[in-house]
A and B are shown apart, each in its own frame.
Chain A
Amino acid sequence: MNHAVLSDALFSFDVARVRRDFPVLERLVHGKPLAYLDNGASAQRPSAVIEAVDDYERRHHANIHRGVHTLSQEATALYEDARDRVVRFINAASRHEVIFVRGTTEAINLVAQSWGRPLLEPGDEILITFLEHHANIVPWQILCEQTGAVLKVAPMDERGEVHVRSVEALMTPRTRLLACAHVSNALGTVLPVRELVAAAKSRGIVTLIDGAQAVPHMPVDVRDIGCDFYAFSGHKLFAPTGIGVLYGREALLERMPPWQGGGDMILKVSFEGTTYNSLPYKFEAGTPNISGAIGLGAAIEYLLGQDLAGARRHEHALLEHATRVLSRIPDLKIIGTARNKASLVSFVVGSVHPHDLGTILDEDGIAVRTGHHCAMPVMDFFKVPATARASFAFYNTFEEIDRLAAAIERARTMFA
């Protein structure tokens, strides 16, 4: 990276100010300032989110869509307002297209069971890529077992890139669905989703994008991408756990049967039959995670109030810096060197197993993820049992990355 870009990032984005918004960043771990570099697993919450959830719990909690009393109306308004914020955040065409779920995993399972199960026939094909998270592999394997459909896997190259032509090469007249990540959680690769979706669409193939790792790092416009479904989790976007979003094109969602039956997803129930509620409620059976949705709405509002362009430049500068300082460490190998990467670095250190490294880094207050990252096929591809992964958010600093590099050096000395 050239210095002009670095200084631009430094001067245009006020990291110190942003850090004050996240109370946990003041914490000490084992007597050292926390360096939280595990944002790919779950990001931290700003005060705005904590306070929004707290205010709801203290003042407005009641069940939604049910009562005529004040609290129920307030809770309903807050919950539905959060939905509207999601609609704007991802540029969905209407609030009918945004379904609250527990997270990305549930969103994908919903599509597999509600869209896929009634539709797929033996011999139909589901196309995924090699770098998928288990959450975008296993639901399709289950669906294949249920329907006799076949799972096809598009390759990646040694950088961890997935090329449109190699995905296209696997599209056949039997391909019914393309399901792929927007950003790889294990490698950081940003996939060319617009081109992939366009290739699928021109063949009449339905598309699902797993956006769990993308929404925290880049603007996501579902209509610009053109996908039929897009899934993401709140907790990677600075919101609470247990809330996530399935975006679906209205025309498709309309044709899909409900996934779960229960309260709120009905219009009329008798023992002879039931009339289902309209979108999005048809897919939200039972009392939902109201406080989680409100937290997600608050996270989106917080983000939209930030200098997001500056935040993205800063994240990119962090990635460049991490790549540079880690590359200098002898016998450290970066796993995943795609040219277009989100802000994370997966790596192995020759003499130190990732789990030992994770423990040693923790002793220095540095939190990274170690393990297979729920992407065992990716580990097999690179012939490593596990990696360590440092994944950044806009509140991380260059100094934290320098501390990471120094701690890795100490671990190398210990195991030398």
Chain B
Amino acid sequence: MELNDLYRDVILDHNRRPRNFGPLEPADAAVEGFNPLCGDRLTLRLRLDGDRIGEIRFEGQGCAISTASASLMTEAVKGKTRAEALEVFDHVHRLLTEDAADAEGLGKLAALSGVREYPARVKCASLCWHTLATALRRPDHALATVSTE
């Protein structure tokens, strides 16, 4: 295990300058993600353009892994259909939890592949993704809360 493999430059950069960070009004879905283990909390808001994610922004507080993961996620899924975004969710989920998973086709999200070696940190990276999946599966629910527990 190498610390630099967890904290890659892409991660450090997105932690320092998170993209798509801040409120979004109005929003078609707003879901709060909460990791009770560490207190990380983020709110994800998105606007749908038909079936596509027209706009997506997040805010909240979390560690570098959690912040960078959310920032990278918003860049990756903006403009995608709901089904396409859920495919990315599945792929990232495999990347974070399965040894055999590869990062092929994930672009910058491949930077998250170092997290798998740090089991205590997987939930940090996956919090925003579970929050996104909840928002996409039931965008009619104005404010839901998902928890990693």
Contacts and interface: CB of A to CB of B under 8 A. Distances in A.
A359 B1 CA distance: 12
Given A363-B3, A414-B7, A415-B64, A371 B12 contact: no
Contact of B65 (A356, A363, A371, A414): A356
Nearest to A30: B1
A360 interface: yes
Contacts of B37: 371
Given A353-B62, A359-B118, A359-B121, A379 B7 contact: no
B40 interface: yes
A371 B121 contact: no
A386 interface: yes
Given A359-B118, A385-B61, A372 B38 contact: yes
Interface string B72-109: 00000000000000000000000000000000000000
Contact of B39 (A356, A359, A386): A386
A372 B39 CA distance: 7
A372 B34 CA distance: 13
Interface in A370-393: 370-372, 376, 379, 385-386
B28 to A, nearest CB: 28
Contacts of B16: 415
Interface residues of A, number: 18
Contacts of A359: 3, 6, 118, 120-121
Contacts of A363: 1, 3
B63 A355 contact: yes
A385 B41 contact: yes
A356, A359, A363, A376 pick with most chain B CB within 10 angstroms? A356
A352 B67 CA distance: 12
B3 A376 contact: no
B31 interface: no
Contact of A376 (B12, B39, B64, B124): B39
B126 interface: no
A354 interface: yes
A372 B15 CA distance: 21
B39 A371 contact: yes
B7 A355 contact: no
Contacts of B120: 359
Interface in A21-35: 30
Contacts of A360: 3
Nearest to A370: B38
B39 A415 contact: no
A415 to B, nearest CB: 7
B12 A379 contact: no
Interface in B1-53: 1, 3, 6-7, 12, 15-16, 37-41
Given A355-B38, A363-B1, A372-B38, 14 more contacts: A356-B7, A356-B64, A359-B3, A359-B120, A359-B121, A363-B3, A371-B38, A371-B39, A385-B38, A385-B39, A386-B39, A414-B7, A414-B12, A415-B64
Interface of B: 1, 3, 6-7, 12, 15-16, 37-41, 61-65, 118, 120-121, 124
25 contacts: A30-B1, A353-B63, A353-B64, A355-B38, A355-B63, A355-B121, A356-B7, A356-B65, A359-B3, A359-B118, A359-B120, A359-B121, A363-B1, A371-B38, A372-B38, A372-B39, A385-B40, A385-B41, A385-B61, A385-B62, A386-B38, A386-B39, A415-B12, A415-B15, A415-B64
